């Protein structure tokens, strides 16, 4: 139980920090973390203020969505989170935000091309858009599971928000900050109506190789 309680505390701290940054608002969005060495995850509850939340409010489920602990109703997106953990063994934290700038790109159908070295190193070659499906639906779960197989760590969700993945909560939160920078820069560039400069192919290849080198180090431990 100690591992579970540590995960609940860490998830609560992350949720409140993301709320203070404006990446989550009111009760919107959700986040989860895999419980180490267990077929379980901790996930935020549905429709409950992050700033009022306590560790006991964090739900604990197995990856088949059977409840383990917590009296509140788990996030409506629990199936989506579980599907990612089952699809991506490298992922130990999932954050679904409603960040304004990534959300804007998601509703105008503009995936983010490779603009910066750190974007490609930490997020992947481009930030693609997952097609729209209703929140909490099996259709959305399946679309997310399929698209996240690409191995990238950030996605836009059409008419919905953004999805960040990481090998731990700290990295997933860092990836949210990288995505914010990229989304702001790309939106401003589009508004300028000037040509948007993307990374040259050789720089893109080198940066993407660094992302996959991180995976090799992770799984060689």
From residue 196, alpha-carbon distances to 20, 102, 123 in Å are 31, 17, 19
Reply yes or no on whether 77 is catalytic: yes
The pLDDT tens digits for 56-108 are 999 999 999 999 999 899 999 999 999 999 999 999 999 999 999 999 999 99
- Per-residue pLDDT, 217: 56
CA atoms within 13 A on the CB side of 160: 20
Q: What is the pLDDT of residues 127-140, one digit of tens each?
A: 999 999 999 999 99
Distance set, CA 216 to CA 19, 51, 148 (Å)? 33, 37, 18
Residue 207: pLDDT over 90: no
Q: What is the pLDDT of residues 143-191, one digit of tens each?
A: 999 999 999 999 999 999 999 999 999 999 999 999 999 999 999 999 9
The Cα–Cα gap between 116 and 154 comes to: 14
Which of 38, 71, 77, 118 is an active site residue? 77
CA 58/CA 96 separation, integer angstroms: 16
Contacts of 110 (CB under 8 A, 6+ apart): 129, 186, 190
What is the Cα 195 distance to its own chain's centre?
29
Confidence bin at 221 (pLDDT 50/70/90): very low
Q: Which domains does the chain have, with CATH numbers?
A: 2-220 (3.40.225.10)
């Amino acid at each position: 139980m100690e591992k579970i309680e540590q995960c609940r505390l860490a998830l609560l701290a992350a949720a409140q920090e993301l709320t203070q940054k404006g990446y989550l608002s009111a009760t919107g969005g959700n986040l989860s973390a895999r419980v180490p060495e267990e077929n379980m995850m901790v996930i935020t509850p549905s429709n409950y203020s992050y700033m009022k939340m306590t560790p006991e409010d964090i739900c604990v489920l197995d990856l088949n969505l059977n409840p383990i602990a917590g009296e509140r109703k788990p996030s409506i997106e629990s199936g989506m989170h579980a599907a990612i953990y089952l699809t991506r063994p490298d992922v130990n934290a999932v954050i679904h935000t409603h960040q304004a700038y990534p959300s804007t790109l998601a509703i105008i159908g503009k995936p983010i091309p490779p603009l910066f070295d750190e974007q490609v190193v930490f997020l992947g070659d481009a930030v693609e858009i997952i097609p729209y499906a209703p929140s909490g639906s099996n259709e959305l779960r399946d679309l997310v599971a399929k698209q996240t197989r690409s191995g990238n760590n950030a996605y836009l969700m059409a008419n919905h928000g953004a999805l960040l993945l990481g090998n731990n909560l700290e990295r997933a939160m860092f990836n949210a900050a990288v995505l914010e920078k990229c989304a702001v820069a790309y939106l401003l560039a589009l508004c300028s109506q000037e040509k948007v400069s993307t990374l040259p192919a050789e720089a893109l290849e080198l940066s993407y190789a660094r992302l996959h080198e991180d995976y090799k180090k992770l799984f060689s431990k």
